[in-house]
Chain A
């Protein structure tokens, strides 16, 4: 299991050091600094073995988190724990920075004592933690016995993510379907790989212990239901989507999903990620990028890029950015674009073309002339792909929320009393076209 956990700043100074196991000594702290943080080469692996001690590290801005062990630990668990640790810290004091860590070091030690016992991760849901690890530690005296046992049963209980007795005057919930669409396209316009990774994020303000059931246009569910009437199958079959795989927040009853494919759960209070999913079939690619790069002699490149929007004309895409990489020996660039603004950014070795808004079924074009310094460098320019960023108000996977039903048997509010909001946002993930 995890033998120790260290947090360093970018210089390699220790900000937090907590040792859980006897086999990890103080010298481990230095070993990591010398061999990883101060190493000359780029990091070649997130797991490093130095003198039979294994170091797992993740980096957040310029803060290094390292878990250390001498045993054959569950490596996936250690990384999941480190991410969780980051989430918990962020939930307590915002951005993970040297400043914030120093300001909250007592709190961090307290958290580390609670969520990692002898190197075994314990309940790390911020909702539960916040009930008894507070920045005002004196609270404990004022708690009644009931409150205390309520805390402990929540921390250890079946529903560790929600406490009892939550009340809202207005029962409300928000569902965000957030998708990132990933694409790799060949210069000839052939899709090499494309997938959507989506998340359903729920923000719930519901009283009591509400039982929720979530439904979407999952092909398997719809086909199952539609068996009765063949007519309906063909009709809804068009709108249903094939989900390759999905994972759920721990509140979702997985066995029920496995047997009936129904998604039922008691949600945590506030915001949480209900599910993640991945689809690869019938993806709507919101934009098509058509590059044309021509080398004119040895010192000049002509680049022409056309983008085409491929969705309903009534919808508007936003925050469109096209990034056209330029060779390292670029000396000057001239650009003309039909829409938006384009600039050559020497520090990033790219031409960045920004368009604020663009409706569906439109196209736009940029022309650039790149002057090159003559070099005797034998190595050819690698031609990194042209990448693109955007945001569209629909789900590129085609996912639709069909319902979200809420039942609370003890309190007297019904599904109809809950105000529900649904929003779809499609963003670009890694959206690249080779040129």
Chain B
């Protein structure tokens, strides 16, 4: 008999047929029918209509049939809760069955039926089963408590099941103990504060006894639970370690890893001078190596964990380099992980072998793997100074292969080597330059440009090389553009006579033709610097760079410690804390390693964390990418930064100099021609530092303006003012609904939850239309984007300025306040078009003193082709005038009209008077205020005139601002 035939019934009317079969008198036929139902269920067909018929088959003494019916019940009970009650009687009866297998089956299945009504009936049978004489029933009932808790936690507490469960920890049967531990651990996880597991030396002792006797899975549950315990002193920690170490010889890798977790955690409490500490270290290595002969999937899990262990305690595996050599047939995910660990273990002792291997890998097929291998060679050079020379020559060999991606990767790492060992390997530059043309990846191009700029004085044709890049400047990625800008400035400072033209060219490309703010900013800074004080410029731009650190890609120490507590679990595979990928309250509790508490009297010197680099010895860290000051000093090309971006103090000093020195040496200009006056920052004479603060202020200035486009988000609440919570946002209006688009970033070290938002009363009654929905807790460095719908039915109070909005945001840490200005056009409603007659009548009706007139200057719509390009506004940051270079629509009036219409400013009429276009427009605010406008546009003249008439003249100013914003964007 084969069951596969059940998968093949696909004809119509099948449900009807099944129904008939289910109600058949013949047992065999019934069973066949239920099997068909289950097969349909498996492939995803909806067979819930058969519910009553299937449940009718439940009353049977055929165990196989019973199990099938139960399976069906578990799937569909939720969709048919009332019908599911029909099954209760059978369950209750089965829980009394003389056969323990049937009792257990009933209690197991009942727990899987997630219907509230059923849970009430479940309590009594469950209570009996928890005290059943048969261990098989008890172990099943123990898990059932966890199931019930998941459905109705209160019920479980009220019924006292938790206490019964705790009693089961002392059960005589090891499997009952293991399941009780698993159930309790899970329940405890959702109640982090409760002292549910209440581990004490006595209960630990019981668990350790059960550990020796239960199944492999039970051992995992118990070990995972033990890992949550904190021994009271080092003696207890040692005695637990001694009883856990035999597990390292278990055939099940999960048992081994969980044992490793307990040992790694408790070792933290042991004194390093202890003999036992050394013994334990020695015992850990062999089982970890053995994990690498398991199946590839497990190898992957093991390698991800070893990566953590090696970072935490490098001494464990320092002699085991060879086992991480990549095998030709390893799956790619195993290869990449092995490579990572090889680099971490590389030391002077084994570097020769490692290099030989890496060279071998660099000729393999998988592109990702080859790249990583090439990069690894560079990292070896940086890590082991003695090997640097060999690494460089290996890289040169690889460059000779001319395989495109190998060459590019090699150039990227050579740049890092130059940073680490300045003035040592410059002889290779010539070879690098030969490959200039083959570089097509931004990172490689940027690296090459950096090298040319840095060593411009030794490369005869540096100007030619850089110039060749300049031709396609606008097609390059930002990374390359920034690097090119800096490199040319460096070149200029080194060879001022020949490269004046080049530097002017790049500065104008960066400041005038680019719409990338970073690039423009950097361009302006250089420009100002060069025009005011070339000597200072030299000091800044050609400053000696801090050396880069030896280790890269290290996991941040607190995260590493947390991950060590999660060895073997998904968190250790992802290298992320559970809060980053688990929803809801579970797993959010942060775990940390136990502190050292010695029972012995020996007062030792305060011990630093046993990682490779204690906190005090990290001078070589370069500032994080995106750090503005670091950026300006062109330090942004370094490899990924290790650890937090500390130790930038010296760099900051330089930055202050930059602005201080700039003032008193205006005469310093040798043969340098000042850039076009327009670009010279107007606030040059402003107090020191204002330039920088300007830079930082800009963001808030831009975001609050907005056109029909969504304005870039501006920082409303800086993290400094809100205990690590940073809020930025903007306002949008889309098809009649207003919303506030928020971006919340957690820059603190703790998780943030329980967000709520509230507005103060404001001029137009803006209020949140829904609560602030932040679904998951916000973990450190995480960002969420939320769109908060707004209504205009809140309470009204006139604000100064009119469009001021005061906001309060709450989270689990505190309440924070900030205020922001919203652009008025989000309040322009869709039915704001007045008919002509009405418009005329209203225009006349409104007294003339209510009329306000404004000039909109530099309106980009209106700049004719033949007219002069507008002079940039005398500001460091050109602000809204970003699209000078963009193509313009032919008819400026038409363009303006359509642009305004998309923001609900409607053109009622249009006429031409004396060569000027006049647009008559109307708009209505959410509170019913009408505003009438006359817009005068003169072809060829960049400014236009706006006359506004409104019964509430206070709004005119803000309507004008809205006009300006819309037209200029």
Interface residues of A (CB under 8 A from B): 1, 13-17, 19-23, 26, 29, 42-47, 49, 52, 54, 56-58, 69-77, 79-83, 99, 102-106, 109-110, 113, 117-118, 120-125, 132, 137-141, 143, 145, 148-149, 151-153, 155-158, 160, 184, 186, 192-193, 195, 197, 244-250, 253-255, 257-258, 273, 275-276, 278, 378-380, 382-385, 387, 430, 432, 434
Contacts and interface: CB of A to CB of B under 8 A. Distances in A.
Nearest to B587: A72
B135 A76 contact: no
A132 B61 contact: no
Top 3 A-B pairs, shortest CB-CB distance = A137-B64, A245-B286, A152-B136
Given A14-B43, A249-B251, A79 B360 contact: no
Given A105-B3, A432-B328, A71 B250 contact: no
Contact of B35 (A76, A106, A157): A106
A113 B108 contact: yes
B251 A17 contact: no
A420 to B, nearest CB: 23
B325 A193 contact: yes
B143 interface: yes
Given A75-B570, A120-B217, A158-B174, A276 B3 contact: no
B677 interface: no
Interface residues of B, number: 116
B98 A145 contact: yes
Interface stretch (B252-260, B650-658, B680-688): B252-260
B297 A157 contact: no
Given A14-B43, A79-B301, 10 more contacts: A26-B44, A72-B578, A80-B252, A103-B4, A120-B143, A152-B100, A184-B327, A193-B322, A380-B403, A382-B365
Interface of B: 2-4, 6-7, 35, 38-39, 42-44, 61-65, 67-68, 70-71, 75, 98-102, 104, 108, 111-112, 114, 134-137, 139-140, 143-144, 146-147, 150, 173-176, 179, 182, 186, 212-213, 215-217, 220-221, 224, 243, 245-247, 249-254, 256-258, 286-287, 289-290, 293, 295-298, 300-302, 322-323, 325, 327-329, 331-333, 353, 356-357, 360, 363-365, 401-404, 566, 568-574, 578, 581-583, 586-587
A6 B296 CA distance: 20
Given A77-B568, A106-B35, A247-B250, A278 B289 contact: yes
B568 A74 contact: yes
Nearest to A30: B44
30 contacts: A1-B182, A14-B44, A47-B570, A49-B574, A72-B578, A74-B224, A76-B257, A77-B568, A83-B298, A103-B3, A105-B4, A106-B38, A109-B67, A109-B68, A118-B112, A118-B146, A120-B217, A120-B221, A122-B215, A125-B215, A140-B99, A148-B100, A152-B135, A152-B136, A156-B136, A186-B356, A192-B357, A197-B293, A250-B252, A432-B327
A250 B39 CA distance: 36
A23 B104 CA distance: 24
Contacts of B582: 52, 70-72
A247 B111 contact: no
Contact of A76 (B137, B245, B254, B587): B254
Contacts of A123: 175, 215, 217
A76 B147 contact: no
A75 B301 contact: yes
Nearest to B215: A123
Given A248-B251, A432-B328, A152 B134 contact: yes
B43 A13 contact: yes
Given A110-B67, A138-B63, A247 B251 contact: yes
Given A72-B571, A152-B101, A247-B290, A118 B143 contact: yes
Contact of B173 (A19, A157, A249, A273): A157
Contacts of B357: 192
Contacts of A79: 253-254, 295, 297-298, 301
B135 A250 contact: no
Nearest to A76: B254
A122 B247 CA distance: 19
Contacts of B114: 22
A304 B861 CA distance: 77
A15 B556 CA distance: 44
A255 B327 CA distance: 35
A122 B101 contact: no
Scoring A113, A117, A378 by chain B CB atoms within 10 A of each residue's CB, the highest score goes to: A117
Given A74-B224, A105-B3, A385-B328, A149 B182 contact: no
A192 B586 contact: no
Contacts of A105: 3-4, 6-7, 38-39, 42
Nearest to B325: A193
A323 to B, nearest CB: 11
B147 A137 contact: no
A44 to B, nearest CB: 6
A16 B63 contact: no
B570 A380 contact: no
Contacts of B150: 21-22
Contacts of B111: 118
A158 B64 CA distance: 28
A117 B108 contact: yes
A117 B402 CA distance: 57
Given A75-B568, A245-B287, A153 B135 contact: yes
A82 B220 CA distance: 15
A82 B296 CA distance: 13
A88 B692 CA distance: 68
Nearest to B220: A77
Nearest to B133: A149
B100 A102 contact: no
A43 B336 CA distance: 13
B327 A380 contact: no
Scoring B150, B186, B297, B574 by chain A CB atoms within 10 A of each residue's CB, the highest score goes to: B297
Nearest to A29: B44
A76 B44 contact: no
A109 B249 contact: no
Nearest to A276: B251
Contact of B254 (A77, A99, A157): A77
A74 B44 contact: no
B395 to A, nearest CB: 16
Contact of A248 (B64, B250, B583): B250
Contact of A102 (B7, B179, B401): B7
Contacts of A42: 332
A15 B38 CA distance: 11
A72 B569 contact: yes
A156 B143 contact: no
Contacts of B583: 23, 52, 70
A400 B332 CA distance: 37
Scoring A43, A118, A383, A384 by chain B CB atoms within 10 A of each residue's CB, the highest score goes to: A118
A118 B142 CA distance: 11
Contact of A121 (B217, B286, B327): B217
Contacts of A152: 100-101, 104, 134-137
Scoring A52, A140, A276, A384 by chain B CB atoms within 10 A of each residue's CB, the highest score goes to: A140
Contact of B101 (A81, A118, A151): A151
Contacts of A113: 67, 70-71, 108
A382 B364 contact: yes
A13 B43 CA distance: 8
A68 B458 CA distance: 59
